[in-house]
Amino acid sequence: METRFRARALAAALAAGLSAAHAHDTWFAPLPADPQGGVALALGTGNQFPVHESGIGIQHLLYSGCRHEPGGTPLALQRTGDAPTALNLRVRAERGLPLSCWANNVKATANGKIRLCAC
C-alpha cells in the first residue's frame, strides 16, 4: 500500500514539474525612478521569475492602467520605450503610495485565432 502511494506521489510530482517547465508568465517589474516623475515599470514575459525573456509590443495591449486604491480613477500607462526583453512603461502616479497595475494583451495563437491574456 505504501509503495503504491509513493509511486502515485512521484508520478504527480513529475507531472507537475513537467507542466511547469513549459509555462510562461507576464509581469510588471519596477524600474529606476522616472526622471519625468511618476513610476517606471517594465512589462515582459518569461519562464523563470524574475527574469523577463521577451517583451510585449505596445500594439498587443488592449487595456492597461494603474490605480492607487480599489475603485479609484484609473491612471494611464504610457510607453517610454522597448527593451529586448520588456516593454518600458510609465504611469504618472504619486511615488510611495500603493499602486495596482494591470495589462490585458491580445496574442495570436498558432492557428491565427486571437486570445485575451489577463496579465
Residue 85 and residue 53 in contact, taking contact as beta carbons nearer than 8 Å: yes
In a domain, 17, yes or no: no
Domain that holds residue 39: 23-118
Give the count of alpha carbons within 13 A of 50, CB side only: 5
In a domain, 7, yes or no: no
pLDDT score, position 2: 55
Positive or negative torsion for Cα 48, 104, 94, 79:
positive
Tell me how many domains the chain contains. 1
pLDDT tens, N- to C-terminus, the chain (119 residues)? 555 545 455 445 545 544 444 557 889 999 987 777 789 999 998 988 889 998 888 888 888 999 998 888 999 999 998 889 999 999 998 878 889 999 987 765 555 444 544 44
In a domain, 15, yes or no: no
